[in-house]
Amino acid sequence: MTPYIIQPRPSVADPALSRPDWTKAQPRDPAKLWLDKNENCDPELSRVVTEVMRALPPEAYFTYPDNAPLYAKLADSLELFPEQLVLTAGSDGAIRAVFEAYISPGDVVLHTNPTFAMYSVYSRMYGAKAVALDYQPSDDGPQLLSAQIIEAIAKQRPKLVCLPNPDSPTGTVFPIREMELIIRAAGRVGALILIDEAYFPFHAESCIAWTRRFDHLVVARSTGKAWGLAGLRIGYAAASPEVAKVLHKVRPMYEVNTVAVHAFLRMLDHAGEMMQSVRRLQAGKDLFLSQMARLGYRTLKGQGNFMHVAFAANADKVHAALEPLVYYRRDFNEPCLKGYSRFSATTAQLFQPLIDRIAEVS
């Protein structure tokens, strides 16, 4: 035994920084529908992905990654320069890279609440002072005004502003005009702003083209939602060439794995099928929401690949009825979503048995 205890960095030693127990995670039952993590389980897109994976050449497995072709093709598809992009392990990797490169202990990080959980985790990990702007409950769902964000930016003078658009789990968005005002407000106080577009193109408005004109803007994108590639852990950040260069400084030796690089490169040829899948999931979402409303339940549509339903007095009955069929998030602690259950979007066909079951017990 070592006669002393080795201490990690103070922000890592902080007991408030804790992560889920990696030995205890329960694998999900393949017999159920998986609508709990906002993945894309559309069978038709899964078929396209499976074909792409089957056709990968042996060098996708036995070589270290050669990423230049993907940088070129992705940049082309986004109408950006390869110098503006950083491939990352999911959009989560892009978010972490921003913290790693820019956040020193004591820096103020402004984010919304509730939001993607890793914003508060990375704030703790890098010793930042996190300032959370709460969504307020209302009959129309979670409410936060862009004016409140702009005011908080001016008052708190953060080093970094983190804003998913759509936000998760709220599903809320700011219109593009207001996004521009928020980005400009961050620029006025010398803050970097990270716009997290994990749910693009379920919500089609994007700030990514503005990375050509704002040097303080980073846009993070996922392949885990629309592209159906959550398991490959590949995403990217887009920024000005200067900021992208900084993010490349903190990348691991190889920023993403070769299998993911080959797969995403080929999937870019299937953007049409990805868009068809997005439309199928949106149609499934519309069906589910309209049927829940018909049964008298309050719903929140939101702009991501997920939606909320409040089963109110029937909640226990509905949860018991759905238990053998589907994984979903039953409830939230946050006041703005209290009483709502969240379902990831799937196809109308896959939603139908759930609708039937809910109708039976309602």
Footprint (CB under 6 A) of ligand PLP, residues 8-67: 38
306-310, strands of its sheet edge to edge: 298-300, 306-310, 341-344
Residue 289 tokens, joined: 């929401």
- Rounded to 5°, the CA angle 171-199-223 comes to 150
Report helix, strand or coil for 354: helix
Minimum distance, C-beta of residue 348 to ligand PLP, in the bound complex (Å):
23
When the beta carbons of 169 and 284 are compared against ligand PLP, the nearer one is 169
Amino acid letter at 159? K
When the beta carbons of 142 and 224 are compared against ligand PLP, the nearer one is 224
Out of 40, 84, 112, 168, the residue judged to bind ligand PLP by CB under 6 A:
168
Q: Is 341 in the site for ligand PLP (CB under 6 A)?
A: no
When the beta carbons of 90 and 142 are compared against ligand PLP, the nearer one is 90
Could you give the CA distance from residue 352 to residue 187 in angstroms, rounded to a whole number?
A: 47
Could you tell me how many helices (H) and strands (E) the chain has, helices first? 13, 12
Q: Is 116 in the site for ligand PLP (CB under 6 A)?
A: yes
Could you give the CA distance from residue 272 to residue 320 in angstroms, rounded to a whole number?
A: 39
Residue 165: closest CA among 134, 194, 140? 194
Q: Is 208 in the site for ligand PLP (CB under 6 A)?
A: no
Q: Is 235 in the site for ligand PLP (CB under 6 A)?
A: yes
How many chain residues interact with ligand PLP (CB under 6 A)?
A: 13
Out of 103, 191, 230, 237, the residue judged to bind ligand PLP by CB under 6 A:
230
Q: Is 90 in the site for ligand PLP (CB under 6 A)?
A: yes
Q: Is 91 in the site for ligand PLP (CB under 6 A)?
A: yes
The answer to whether 209 touches 79, Cβ cutoff 8 Å, is yes
Provide the Cα torsion 23, 29, 32, 37; round to 10°. Answer: 20
Residue 237 tokens, joined: 């950040």
Minimum distance, C-beta of residue 116 to ligand PLP, in the bound complex (Å):
4
Which range binds ligand PLP by CB under 6 A, 89-97, 99-107, 124-132, 350-358?
Answer: 89-97
Which range binds ligand PLP by CB under 6 A, 88-96, 243-251, 283-291, 354-362?
Answer: 88-96
Could you give the CA distance from residue 118 to residue 96 in angstroms, rounded to a whole number?
A: 8
When the beta carbons of 108 and 198 are compared against ligand PLP, the nearer one is 198
- Distance from the first to the final alpha carbon of the chain: 61
Minimum distance, C-beta of residue 117 to ligand PLP, in the bound complex (Å):
9
* Residue matched to tokens 């749910």: 199
Residue number with the smallest Cβ distance to ligand PLP: 90
Residue 55 tokens, joined: 């056709």
Residue 110: closest CA among 45, 193, 229, 36? 193
Could you give the CA distance from residue 289 to residue 299 in angstroms, rounded to a whole number?
A: 7
When the beta carbons of 91 and 211 are compared against ligand PLP, the nearer one is 91
When the beta carbons of 223 and 291 are compared against ligand PLP, the nearer one is 223
Q: Is 224 in the site for ligand PLP (CB under 6 A)?
A: yes
When the beta carbons of 39 and 361 are compared against ligand PLP, the nearer one is 39
DSSP state of 26: P
Amino acid letter at 290? S
Q: Is 302 in the site for ligand PLP (CB under 6 A)?
A: no
Q: Is 228 in the site for ligand PLP (CB under 6 A)?
A: no
When the beta carbons of 123 and 222 are compared against ligand PLP, the nearer one is 222
Out of 164, 171, 228, 284, the residue judged to bind ligand PLP by CB under 6 A:
164
Q: Which residue ranges make up the site for ligand PLP (CB under 6 A)?
A: 38, 90-92, 116, 164, 168, 196, 198, 222, 224, 230, 235
